[in-house]
Amino acid sequence: MDKLPTHNEVVVARLRPRARRRWNVKYLSLLCLCGIYLTTRSTSRVVFVHDEPASLPAHAQEALHQCKMLSVKPGPPDNFHQRSQSDRFVKGTPPTLLRNASVWTGDSAGYELRDVDILLDKGIIKFVGQGHQGLLHGYSNLVTIDVGGKWVTPGIVDMHSHLGVDSLPSLAGSSDTNSLKGPILPWLRSLDGLNTHDDAYRLSISGGVTTANVLPGSANAIGGQAFVIKLRPTTERSSSSMLLEPPYTINDTQVDPTLPPRWRQMKHACGENPGRVYGNTRMDTFWAFRQAYDEARKLKEKQDDYCAKVFAGRWDGLGDFPQDLRLEALVDVLRGRVKVHVHCYEAVDLDDFIRLTNEFHFPLAAFHHAHEAYLVPDTLKRAYGNTPAIALFATNARYKREAYRASEFAPRILAENGIDVVMKSDHPVMNSRYLLYEAQQAHYYGLSADLALSSVTSVPAKVLGLDHRIGSIREVIYSRSDLVIWDSHPLAIGATPTQVWIDGISQLQNPYVSAKPLAFQTAPSTPNFDEEAAAAIKYEGLPPLSTTSPTTNVVVFTNVGSVFSKIGMEVQQVFSASSAGLGVAIVKAGELICYGPHTTCLDYVTPNEVEWSDLDGGSICPALISYGSPLGLEEIHEEKSTRDGVVLDPLGDRIPGVLNGSEVIRAVDGLLFATRDALLAYRAGVTSAVTAPASEGLVAGLSTIFSTGAAHGLQAGAVIQDVAALHVSISHRWSGSPSVSTQIAALRNLLLHSNEGTPFDQAAKGKIPLIVETANVDVIVSLLKLKAQVDINTGSSIRLVISGAAEAHVLSKELAAAGVGVIVSPSRPFPEDWQSRRILPGPPLTNDSAISTLLDHGVTVGIGILEPWSARSTRFDIAWAALESDGKISEAQALALASTNLEKLLGATAQGDLVVTRGGTILDFEAKVVGIISQSRGLLEWI
């Protein structure tokens, strides 16, 4: 039985009177019972029939209520929008009036409102529109904020988060994301592990995130129940007080019989994760799903049979309602009362799960990750009941095989097929503070502006069944009250909140604001990627990434907006379009031979011998360098056969005798060329990478510099520099690993007592840079002391560079005085563990960022990345660094962060590659990389 039968009649047995008094009591009891039943908003009619006497059980009333409610779908009460106060209102919160706002509503009926006022009071929005004095009558303590035309949006909704269960800083005592007690665990609840002291709450709020769906992890096929939370701190300080619309009685299976139930959330997972954890194949995982749902279906049928007897008045021997606490949530799934969120990547898994929904007749809320969903839209539409939404990363991909065919064009392709798109963080996999950046990237690669913003506001709210609560700003009375004011258009790179309201309560105390250009108040006009999107589908996620050559040896670029060039070891802007108009630039045989106003370069070309290219206000600048990830040493991180592997560590491993004299490994010997991440980086203007051997211990080895666009190692210019620097890492790693003090002692010994000419001897004497990967300020102090000791001993100066450096800003003055450089990696620091918890988060929480602070003190700073897929986004990382500096970092200085500064720090030979962009500079969301100029190879390549 798939669902309860429809009962238009409630049949209640009439008892035959034996004594008038007893009959009256029973008759009155029956009348009361029927009256109570009729108040449950049913249109059923009561029919009395003559039957044999039967005693009415004490639980009859409860049974009728319970059975009736089984067919009621979740949702808000009918009078929800007539409320005058939110159930989350905090007494004493003053009413707030926002004046002169540009509002992005999240409502498809009209996404934008201009010059409007918003009144917040008692935890809800009481007015949106053109305010008048009468509206404010009676508000004596009103807080008024003139928004000045800036953008106001609904609070950001993260539909896939592990906030509170995978807490920051990461500690063994607060790791509650996954249970390993079996693949099917629907009875587990993320609420029961929700840590109220997660440092990420405050950071995420500072990025405009107000609501998160806290999911169990993906180790299990069914990982358990998820709970939606508001991120603000509460006076109660409990996990339960953070919940948004949980079941009325959290620790019971019953609901209030006078109200419709509330939506529940549940996490499922298929593919590699549960298979890897339990040693199962996909066949095993889906058999586990089918077993679990078959068991749940049997329980549901018992419940339905029970309720059929209740409605028929067949009370004899009926007993209690059939329940099983292990299965009740899955039964609710089968009744369509649970939003099921499924971690699934590949077409095979998506198809498997679609078939599962049709076998057991239950709807899906969303597939998460779903890297191949854009390839199978018709399959998705065959899901039972409705087409699930797809929750995606923007560019995070290729970290395992099932993510290998991911495409940055997936959001637009899915939207074009009428499928709802959600951008999510999977926090802490991605820092949810920057969830909006995922939507910005989706917009950059072709998702419309309104759908991009909807993907982190109104769409996830709808998918969660909470769009009556969150996700939009509507011109209706008593609406939602989570709002964000942005310093620029929310789709502009670097957009940052100036204030955030959750439940009508402001969250940022004395926020810091960086001035943004006026143009940033408009959504960026992003490039056209139609051909690339079509190719992604045609080649099933693996389109060719080759370049082409011009038809002639000379190319003239017209409508050039700016030119940046290396002057010595610095980046300078050498041309900027003036009021007289845009300029030209001429490239011949891979060399930029002229740039400037049109009249300047006319004598350099013969019109019939050139190829012309209109840059539409674009730019030419030095190419970027990638540092910090295993780019060029792996193709798919989780597939060992596609990686160089991990080097042996002298502190933790027995080094075989065959390596005597060659204990320090060279990355150049393990390079893998033409990986997709390298080629994508090349197409984004990152033409070279510095890569060190992968290590889990103290000594990594010698890094190399290679061309990201090279096809193989023997191609001219493929290996730019065999050896760049010596790399070590000092940190707390795992229980039983050598202590930090032991690691420092070992490094001291290696620097002071290594044989002449060995890598550590060369580093001690300043002949090659020594790059130390560490986040912690205390470790950095020890390294500064060690440098001073070694410098005295050798009479030289170690070229020490701190990489990672989350807490390096604390020692900005000391680092500058010691001549120690810093590579901040990632460029927007994240307090992932105890060693990196003292970050400088930047606006709106602090006036300065780590990068701007270090630069202010004269430290040479570069930026790095952690994973190869993010190399392509280096251009946006440096743009962000400049935009949040409040004008302290110029465009030229931003470019230096990923070019000349890295060359200085890493001992890299200066590169002459240039990047050509159309539509703006390489720092702009409006710009697209269209060409690479390689002076060393004497050519220009079209992207």
Q: What is the pLDDT of residues 405-435, one digit of tens each?
A: 999 999 999 999 999 999 999 999 999 999 9
Q: What is the mean pLDDT of residues 17-40?
A: 40
Phi-psi region of 363 (alpha: psi -120 to 50; beta: other; left: phi over 0): beta
pLDDT at residue 10 is higher than 60: no
**Percent of the chain at pLDDT exceeding 90:** 82
Q: Residue 73 gets which letter from DSSP?
A: P
Buried b (16+ CB within 10 A) or exposed e, 752-768: eebeeebbbbbbbbbeb
Of 786, 859, 861, 798, give the one whose Cα is nearest residue 829. Answer: 861
At residue 44, the pLDDT reads 36
Q: Which two tokens stand for residue 92?
A: 């004493």
**Nearest partner of 318 among 328, 326, 327, 310, judged by Cα:** 310
Contact 723, 771 (CB under 8 A): no
Here the tokens at position 825 are 């990696």
Q: What average pLDDT score do residues 510-518 get?
A: 94
Please, which residues bridge with residue 341 across strands? 267, 366
- At residue 735, the pLDDT reads 66
| Residue 437: pLDDT over 90 | yes
pLDDT score of 65 = 87
The mean pLDDT of 48-75, rounded to a whole number, is 77
**Placement of tokens 């329980």 in the chain:** 299
pLDDT of residue 655: 83
Residue 82 has pLDDT above 90, yes or no: no
Give the pLDDT confidence of 761-816 residue by residue, as tens digits: 999 999 999 999 999 999 999 999 999 999 999 999 999 999 999 999 999 999 99
pLDDT band at 879 (very low <50, low <70, confident <90, very high): very high
Between the CA of residue 716 and those of 47, 633, 707, 792, 938, what are the distances in Å? Answer: 91, 19, 10, 42, 11
DSSP-assigned letter for residue 658: G
Q: Which residue has the higher pLDDT, 26 or 717?
A: 717
Instruction: Using a pLDDT cut of 70, give the percent of the chain over it.
Output: 92
Confidence band for 46, pLDDT divided at 50, 70 and 90: very low
Burial of 659 (0-12, 13-18, 19+ CB in 10 A): exposed
Could you read off the pLDDT of 845-871 as tens digits, one per residue? Answer: 999 999 999 999 999 999 999 999 999
Residue 320: how many CB atoms within 10 A of its CB?
10
Mean per-residue pLDDT, 490-511:
97
Q: What is the spatial distance between Cα 689 and Cα 710, in angstroms, rounded to a whole number?
A: 11
Residue 14 in this model has a pLDDT that exceeds 60: no
- Does residue 36 or residue 597 have the better pLDDT? 597
pLDDT at 744 over 50: yes
Confidence of residue 24 (pLDDT cuts 50, 70, 90): very low
Query: What is the longest distance spanned by two Cα atoms in the chain?
Result: 120
CA-nearest of 371, 397, 180, 355 to 276 is: 180
**pLDDT score recorded for residue 252:** 62
- Who has greater pLDDT, 199 or 59? 199
Specify the pairing of strand 497-502 against strand 483-486.
antiparallel
**Rounded CA separation 67/930 (Å):** 64
| Cβ-based neighbour number of residue 609 at 10 Å | 9
CA distances from 27 to 14, 44, 64, 465, 794 (A): 8, 20, 18, 43, 104
Mean pLDDT of 648-652: 87
Band of residue 389 on the pLDDT scale cut at 50, 70, 90: very high
745 residue type, one letter: A
CA-CA distances (angstroms) from residue 725 to 768, 798, 824, 904? 6, 12, 17, 11
Q: How far is CA 295 from the centre of its chain?
A: 35
Instruction: Give per-residue pLDDT as tens, 332-379.
Output: 999 999 999 999 999 999 999 999 999 999 999 999 999 999 999 999
- CB proximity list for 145: less than 8 A, separation 6 or greater: 96, 97, 98, 99, 485, 499
Helix (H, G, I), strand (E, B) or coil at 585: strand
Whole-number pLDDT of residue 32: 40
Distance from first CA to last CA of the chain, Å, rounded? 59
What residue type is 99 in one-letter code?
Answer: R
The predicted structure's pLDDT at residue 607? 73
Cα dist. 767→189, 625, 628, 752 in Å? Answer: 56, 22, 21, 14
Which whole-number Å values give the CA distances from 81 to 124, 246, 651, 689, in the listed order? Answer: 10, 18, 65, 56
Going from the C-alpha of 324 to that of each of 98, 224, 288, 300, 365, the distances in angstroms are: 50, 15, 18, 10, 24
String of DSSP letters for 123-158: TEEEEEES--GGGGTT-TT-EEEE-TT-EEEEPEEE
Residue pair 195/165 in contact by the 8 Å Cβ criterion = yes
Please, what's the b/e burial string for 122-131 (b: 16 or more CB within 10 A of its CB; e: otherwise)? bbbbbbbeeb
Closest to 120 in 3D by CA, of 631, 499, 572: 499
Render pLDDT for 263-288 as a digit per residue (tens, 0 to 9).
999 999 999 999 999 999 999 999 99
Smallest CA-to-CA distance from 569 within 881, 909, 913, 877 is with: 909
Contact 370, 393 (CB under 8 A): no
Confidence grade of residue 253 (pLDDT, cut at 50, 70, 90): low
Torsion over CA: 831, 800, 880, 876 (sign): negative
Q: What is the pLDDT of residues 469-496, one digit of tens each?
A: 999 998 665 667 899 999 999 999 999 9
CA dihedral of residues 468, 470, 474, 477 (deg, nearest 10): 60
Residue 590 near residue 938 (C-beta atoms within 8 A) = yes
The predicted model gives 656-676 an average pLDDT of 91
Give the C-alpha separation, 257 to 647, whole Å.
Answer: 63
Predicted confidence at residue 41, as pLDDT, reads 40
Burial 872-907 (b: 16+ CB within 10 A, else e): bbbbbbbbbbbbbbbebbebbbbbbbbbbbbbbbbb
Does residue 12 surpass a pLDDT of 60?
no
Q: For residue 683, what are the CA distances in angstroms to 1, 6, 393?
A: 56, 61, 20
Neighbouring residues of 308: CB distance < 8 A, sequence distance ≥ 6: 4, 5
**Distance from C-alpha of 126 to C-alpha of 560, rounded to nearest angstrom:** 50
Determine the pLDDT at residue 885.
Answer: 97
In this structure, of 25-29, 109-113, 839-843, the range with the lowest mean pLDDT score is 25-29
Q: Which residues make beta-bridge pairs with 174?
A: none
Q: Is residue 424 within 8 Å of 391, Cβ to Cβ?
A: yes
- Taking the CA of residue 488 as centre, how many other CA atoms within 13 Å lie in the half-sphere pointing to its CB? 23
Q: Give the Cα separation of 665 and 650 in Å (integer).
A: 12
Tokens found for residue 468: 């009556």
Instruction: For 565-576, write each residue's pLDDT tens digit.
Output: 999 899 999 999
CB 891 within 8 A of CB 882: yes
Q: Residue 598 — very low, low, confident or very high, per pLDDT cuts 50/70/90?
A: confident
Question: Per-residue pLDDT tens for 673-719?
Answer: 999 999 999 999 999 999 999 999 999 999 999 999 999 999 999 99
pLDDT the model gives residue 107: 86
- At residue 284, φ and ψ (nearest 5 deg) are -65, -45
Considering only CA atoms, which of 211, 678, 106, 185 is closest in space to residue 425?
A: 211
Distance from C-alpha of 627 to C-alpha of 633, rounded to nearest angstrom: 12
Confidence at residue 274, expressed as pLDDT on a 0 to 100 scale = 96
Task: Collect all residues with Cβ–Cβ distance below 8 Å to 563 and sequence separation of at least 6.
Answer: 573, 574, 575, 583, 585, 592, 595, 619, 620, 621
Give 175's DSSP letter.
Answer: B
Could you give the CA distance from residue 857 to residue 612 in angstroms, rounded to a whole number? 45
